[in-house]
Amino acid sequence: MLEFLQSAEEAARRGGNVLRAWSSKFTVREKSRSNLVTEADFASQQAIHEFLRGRYPHHGFHGEEGLDEVRPDSPYRWVVDPLDGTTNYVHGFPYFAVSIGLEFEGKLVVGAIFDPSRDEMFLAARGCGATVNRRPLHRSDVPELSQAMVVASLPVATSPDDMAVKRFLRMLPHAQTVQRTGSAALNLAYVAAGRLDGFWSTSLKPWDMAAGIVLVEEAGGKVTQLDGGPFQLAEPNLLATNGSNIHQELITHLA
């Protein structure tokens, strides 16, 4: 497992270096309304793919920017977001990351999230704990929602009628503060690091969540669906918290 973790780390760092190299020279395209992509997204994915393909030619690969390699004979699949938080990246708002998760027989076992702006490498492997820049990570001890900083990911092009927006507004009087930050992967890393106490979304893709799930669980946090049911990577339904009473409080207010 540790070999895979080192590979995830190296791949995430290579992706992050590509994002640094492209900053302020990229051009922006809209995949759909408000859903941005740049050369940096593709170049980061290419660097990550080349590295992992070189080491593990038989593993599956599932990358956001149209790079899907299905390997039915391998129990391993890399799930990669080469730039999570593209809108932030485009605006120079330094809250974006590379996210690399590894599945073994459909279970998430390794996660690496690299924030090139703060030079922070978040790593976790199943049963081995979680770290940031080699220091152990631990979820927060905040016991109640009224003392909590929580965060939501909303759909990219949303509207006041959207259920996700209504849920977000409903939470405002219950938490100490409710944020929307623009990088689901970093939100999960921050729940693992105890910098956020809870995070939810109903509009994420596997590559937004894969690495962060391992981080939150290995840092002592809890991950379920919004109604408390078992989390499933293929479904865009995620509630991640420090595992305190906050988890149940969020279920009550969000479901």
If binding is defined by CB under 5 A, does position 81 make contact with Ca ion? yes
β-strand 76-84 against 60-63: which pairing, if any? parallel
CB atoms within 10 A of CB 196: 26
Contact partner, 116, from ligand IPD, Ca ion, none, Cβ < 5-8 Å per class? none
Hey, what are 70's tokens? 């299905």
Q: How many whole angstroms separate alpha carbon 150 and alpha carbon 140? A: 12
Angle between helix 2-22 and helix 39-55 axes, rounded to 10 deg: 150
Selected from 6, 203, 237, 245, the binder of ligand IPD by CB under 6 A is 203
Q: How many whole angstroms separate alpha carbon 18 and alpha carbon 82? A: 10
Return the range that interacts with Ca ion (CB under 5 A); candidates 13-21, 59-67, 129-137, 193-201.
59-67
Nearer to ligand IPD among residue 64 and residue 249 (C-beta): 64
If binding is defined by CB under 6 A, does position 81 make contact with ligand IPD? yes
178 pairs with which residues across the strands? 150
If binding is defined by CB under 6 A, does position 85 make contact with ligand IPD? yes
Q: How many whole angstroms separate alpha carbon 35 and alpha carbon 64? A: 13
Phi and psi of 18, rounded to 5°?
A: -65, -40
3-state SS, residue 222: strand
Selected from 44, 153, 242, 244, the binder of ligand IPD by CB under 6 A is 153
The least CB distance from residue 184 to Ca ion, in Å, is: 6
Amino acid occupying residue 4: F
CA 167, distance to chain mean position in Å, is: 21
If binding is defined by CB under 6 A, does position 115 make contact with ligand IPD? no
If binding is defined by CB under 5 A, does position 208 make contact with Ca ion? yes
Nearer to ligand IPD among residue 187 and residue 244 (C-beta): 187
If binding is defined by CB under 6 A, does position 197 make contact with ligand IPD? no
Choose among 96, 93, 64, 253: nearest CA to 175.
253
The least CB distance from residue 60 to ligand IPD, in Å, is: 20
| Binding flags for Ca ion, 84-113, as an x/- string (CB under 5 A) | x-----------------------------
If binding is defined by CB under 6 A, does position 86 make contact with ligand IPD? yes
Q: Is the separation of the CB atoms in 221 and 244 below 8 Å?
A: no
The least CB distance from residue 128 to ligand IPD, in Å, is: 26
For the chain, how far is it from start to end, CA to CA, in angstroms?
A: 36
Contact partner, 156, from Ca ion, ligand IPD, none, Cβ < 5-8 Å per class? ligand IPD
If binding is defined by CB under 5 A, does position 218 make contact with Ca ion? no
Residues near ligand IPD (CB under 6 A): 81, 83-86, 153-154, 156, 182-184, 203-204, 208
Residues near Ca ion (CB under 5 A): 64, 81, 83-84, 208
